[in-house]
Structure 1
Amino acid sequence: MAPPPPPAGPAIPVQPGDGSDTTAPPPETGTIILSDVMGRDRSINVFAGFTRDFAPITNRFDDATQNSTVLAPLNSAIEALPRKPWEDPSDYHTLGADAYEGSDGQERAQQNLRRFVEAHIVPVSPWPEKLKASAMAGAGEVWWEMKDGKRVIQPGNIEVASVASTVANGQVWIIKGVRNYAS
């Protein structure tokens, strides 16, 4: 009888998103998909948590036939926003300080948060340089280009800190800012 095989290594290799690497890591083998890797980098856990609030997004990340490039803002970029991702100045202008109170307010906040998340998901992967695509939110065209040796999301000149994961149905790009997600 042959001896048992050695124990397997981790199912998902850890690749830190420290910003030092803007090239794509090699594709992960097997059936690893976006939903398997979204929560593994602590620097984007706020955004990763937001993605889990919406069934169409989690379903997309779970579906190996729907490729996406996820533009995941660093926690620090989300925290630096002048308002929370679920707040819209027009809601306050129209409805006042209680715009997010009660069930109607909570629904408004959820719609705004979904728009924020969808503005950061490009339903294309691989995503060639300068290819203009629409994010899920339909917030205009988005593309990327190399500038001074760095990958930059346009419009907005948002620097890509790293390509944190390449999996069967897409990539997770850690970005140093947020896309304009206003309606």
Structure 2
Amino acid sequence: MPPSDPSPVDLPSAGSGEVMLSDVMGRDRSINLFAGFVRDIESASQRLDDSAKNTTVLAPLNSAIEKLPRKPWEDPKDYGSLGPNAYEGEDGQDRAQRNLQRFVEAHMVPENPWPAGKKVKAIGDDQDIWWENKGGIKVIQPGNIEVVSVASTVANGQVWILKNARNYA
């Protein structure tokens, strides 16, 4: 018989004794690319480790990130204004880091629980987003992005696995 998913008591715990989003982000291999990006963004990592800040993490599948038209740290405007070396040198690395932060924060909703139909703004995003139930499937709007599953529910929120990435441009 295969082992069952670990229960919350089997997971590492934060200093408060409660399991935090930061503890479970890397648990599901299907979203490990996104989890790695979150670790690279200090403000996102700190939020997921903060018991006072409930968050719904909208984590795209690895396959969704791999099929993006560009890397999450790239912006066509940077290439347009700075040319093919837009991400070279210290300034380029800073630009890439800011773009990656925008991508990660576009996938973090500063609310949990997050009721169906309630319009909110992702962290660092001006666009209203919401979710609705379509035939028993959670779908993030705008974009009709299917929620494959709710991977984890912990003290400060949930991790929802998305079939595609949100538009982060």
Alignment TM-score, normalising by the size of structure 1: 0.84
Higher relative contact order (CA 8 A, sep 6+): 1
Q: CA deviation at 1:10?
A: 6.2
Per-residue Cα deviation, 1:47-74 (whole angstroms, up to 9, x for no partner): 0000011221111111111000000000
Q: Structure 1 pair 73/139, CA: closer, same or farther in 2 (3 Å)?
A: farther
Q: How many residues align?
A: 158
Q: Deviations over 1:97-121 (max 9, x none)?
A: 0111111111100000000000000
Whose helix fraction is larger, Structure 1's or Structure 2's? 2
- Matched with 2:34 is 47
Alignment TM-score, normalising by the size of structure 2: 0.90
| Whole-angstrom distance in 2 between the partners of 1:122 and 1:139 | 12
SS of the residue 1:36 aligns to:
helix
**Percent identity, aligned pairs only?**
66
CA distance in 2, matches of 1:12, 1:52: 18
Aligned with 1:100 (options 84, 87, 92)? 87
Per the alignment, residue 102 of structure 2 pairs with 115
Q: Distance in 2 between matches of 1:10 and 1:146?
A: 31
- Is 1:69–2:68 an aligned residue pair? no
- Helix, strand or coil for the counterpart of 2:103? helix
1:78 maps to which of 65, 79, 93: 65
Q: Give the equivalent residue in structure 2 for 1:130.
A: 117
Q: Tell me what 1:168 maps to.
A: 155
The CA distance in 2 between the partners of 1:149 and 1:56, in whole Å, is: 34
Deviation of 1:139 after TM superposition, in Å, equals 3.8
- 1:52 alignment partner, SS class: helix
CA distance in 2, matches of 1:177, 1:139: 20
Distance 1:141 1:165 in 2: 24
Selected match of 1:150 from 134, 137, 144: 137
Gaps of 5+ in 1: 1-8, 14-29
Which among 51, 59, 75 is matched to residue 88 of structure 1?
75
Question: Structure 1 residue 149: deviation in Å?
Answer: 1.6
Q: Deviations over 1:115-166 (max 9, x none)?
A: 0000000000000000000000224111000112210000000000000000
Root mean square deviation, CA, Å: 1.4
Distance of aligned partners of 1:134 and 1:84 in 2 relative to their CA distance in 1, 3 Å threshold: same
Please say which structure displays the higher CA radius of gyration: 1
The corresponding residue for 1:60 is 47
